[in-house]
Amino acid sequence: KPPRHLLSISNLTPTELSTLVNNATRHRSLGINNFPLSPLANALSHKNIALIFSKRSSRTRVSTESAVVALGGHPMFLGSGDIQLNVNESLYDTSRVISSMTSGMVARVGPHSDIVGLAKDSTVPVINALCDTHHPMQIIADFATLTQSYATTAEGLKGLKIAWVGDANNVLFDMCIGARKLGIEMAVATPSGYELPAAIKAEIDQAGEGKLSETTSPLEAVKDADVIVTDTWVSMGQEEESQKRMKAFAGYQVTEEMARKGGAKKDWRFMHCMPRHPEEVSDEVFYGGRSLVFPEAENRLWSAISVLEGFVVNGGDIKKTIV
Ligand code: CP
Ligand code: NVA
């Protein structure tokens, strides 16, 4: 039987997405110091998980390494300077070889086709740790963070309104797909020329019915929003466009004033996947009382445990965890 992979939020049914989000919160209830008491503490004992990173990472690397250790396994970090991939060796050869010696691959790549290529011939589950169009582990953590603030389970997030102000990127794409699955409303403000690409919109539509509005006006997007989210204006790999982007995104910095003028809900909260640059959000918002950014970052650990449990320990059978 071929392994089941997590390449984007599209790979999950609404129930599976909710289960992964809820399991992340259940794992969190134990806390990392008590995790050895979890029934899963030895679930990956004597198993190697390859962590293939072709781009930088703080949160994804630390959370997945820590998650593998929490489950009793061995994380094998393979940076782009360490392995032959893309220098002396093809994706196909790399995938065949690494999957023959490990129990799972977590990979951060450039184009989405690279993660698809890695998964295609792998004999073990492949988990996308970010590519240019998707970041599923981030979105599971984001919905876990919202669950912990607004509801008791992911199902309780139905009807919430998220405003995204900034670039239409990998994080937004998977957030929109996930929002459709959970019944969350999305309002997206991007400068003209930086809208959601047609192919991604089609993928979002395939994820289900739901409200998604697009505008070039941040004030319009944040109206009645429960949550305002942004991300860097210059994603990894776009560094050469930096100056052009700074100009295009002028006026898109998330601030208290923007939310007030636009009419966001009084108790709106702020999220950002990090790493954060000062231009996309003011210090007042990022470090202020509304900000969920640090719990959001910590939830990367609990989500990584949840994803490894579902895809590696349970072979893609996503079910409620026992804590
Ligand atoms: N949010 C996130 O994926 O951060 P890193 O790039 O540091 O992993
Ligand atoms: N959109 C950002 C997310 C980083 C976690 C990037 O791709 O660089």
Question: Distance from the CA of 205 to the center of ligand 1, in angstroms?
Answer: 27
List 273, 297, 304, 308, catalytic entry: 273
Q: Is 131 part of the annotated catalytic residue set?
A: no
Q: Model confidence at 268, in pLDDT bands (50, 70, 90)?
A: very high
Rounded distance between C-alpha atoms, residue 54 and residue 63, angstroms: 17
Neighbouring-strand partners of residue 187:
163, 213
* CA 97 and chain centroid, separation: 27
**Which pLDDT value is given to residue 45?**
98
Average pLDDT value for residue range 272-289: 98
Question: Distance from the CA of 263 to the center of ligand 2, in angstroms?
Answer: 28
**Which pLDDT value is given to residue 116?**
98
**Which pLDDT value is given to residue 311?**
98
Q: Which of 311, 276, 309, 277 is nearest to 292 (CA)?
A: 276
Rounded distance between C-alpha atoms, residue 220 and residue 163, angstroms: 9
Question: Distance from the CA of 24 to the center of ligand 1, in angstroms?
Answer: 18
Q: Are 303 and 24 in contact (CB under 8 A)?
A: yes
Q: Are 142 and 272 in contact (CB under 8 A)?
A: no
Helices (H), the chain: 14-30, 59-70, 91-99, 112-120, 136-150, 170-182, 198-206, 218-222, 242-248, 256-262, 283-286, 293-308
Q: Model confidence at 269, in pLDDT bands (50, 70, 90)?
A: very high
Average pLDDT value for residue range 75-91: 95
Domains present along the chain, CATH in parentheses: 9-135+299-313 (3.40.50.1370), 139-296 (3.40.50.1370)
Q: Model confidence at 104, in pLDDT bands (50, 70, 90)?
A: very high
Report whether residue 236 contacts ligand 2, using a CB cutoff of 6 Å.
yes
Q: How far is CA 187 from CA 161, 179, 215, 322, in A?
A: 8, 11, 8, 36
Report whether residue 175 contacts ligand 2, using a CB cutoff of 6 Å.
no
> SS in 3 state form for 58-77?
CHHHHHHHHHHHHCCCEEEE
Cβ–Cβ contacts within 10 Å for residue 57, how many? Answer: 19
Q: Model confidence at 74, in pLDDT bands (50, 70, 90)?
A: very high
**Which pLDDT value is given to residue 129?**
99
The closest ligand to the CA of 58 turns out to be: 1
Q: How large a percentage of the chain has pLDDT more than 90?
A: 100
Cβ–Cβ contacts within 10 Å for residue 40, how many? Answer: 20
Q: Which of 112, 91, 92, 51 is nearest to 304 (CA)?
A: 51
Q: Which residue from 60, 61, 65, 139 has its CB within 8 A of the most atoms of ligand 1, so it is best to mutate?
A: 60
Give the nearest ligand 1 atom to 135 CA: 3
Q: With a cut of 0.85, is the ipTM above it?
A: yes
Burial degree of 255 (CB within 10 A; 0-12, 13-18, 19+): middle
